[in-house]
């Protein structure tokens, strides 16, 4: 029976050692991939910072106050356009009514001439 227990212990130790080796290999793979990802991220970050510096030199960034003024002006122009659209609709309706009146007067004058 002790021989059997010794064999079981040896098998368990070997199995545990195999698991530890697998974990170690897996951890090495994860560490390598993480290091590569960090390196790539760092390189892209540096590249983006250079690009942002180039853009900042080429284009001027508006201040928050200027952007807020732009938004206020935009809102004002939108309301003016809406107002103009409503006036145009009113004038179109008025024009249609005047055309109808002209047609009615034309018909009435033809009728009057025939009498």
**How confident is the prediction along the chain (115 residues), in pLDDT tens digits per residue?**
677 788 888 889 999 999 999 999 999 999 999 999 999 999 999 999 999 888 888 888 888 999 999 999 999 999 999 999 999 999 999 999 999 999 999 998 988 888 7
Q: How many domains does the chain have?
A: 2
| Distance of alpha carbon 63 from the chain centroid | 22
Q: Domain check: are 53 and 66 in the same one?
A: no
Domain that holds residue 93: 62-115
Residue 37 to residue 65: CA distance in whole angstroms: 39
DSSP structural state of residue 1: -
Contact 62, 70 (CB under 8 A): yes
Q: Domain check: are 1 and 51 in the same one?
A: yes
Q: Domain check: are 53 and 88 in the same one?
A: no
Q: Domain check: are 39 and 66 in the same one?
A: no
Q: Domain check: are 1 and 53 in the same one?
A: yes
Q: How many CB atoms lie within 10 A of CB 74?
A: 10
Tokens of 83: 């107002």
Tokens of 85: 């659209």
């Amino acid at each position: 029976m002790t021989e059997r227990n010794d064999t079981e212990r040896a098998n368990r130790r070997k199995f545990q050692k195999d698991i530890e080796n697998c974990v170690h290999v897996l951890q090495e793979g994860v560490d390598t991939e993480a290091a590569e990802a960090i390196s790539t991220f760092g390189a892209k970050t540096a590249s983006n910072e250079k690009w942002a510096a180039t853009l900042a030199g080429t284009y001027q960034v508006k201040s928050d106050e200027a952007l807020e003024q732009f938004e206020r002006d935009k809102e004002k122009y939108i309301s003016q356009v809406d107002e103009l659209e409503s006036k145009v609709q009113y004038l179109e309706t008025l024009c249609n009514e005047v055309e109808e009146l002209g047609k009615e007067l034309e018909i009435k004058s033809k009728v009057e001439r025939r009498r």
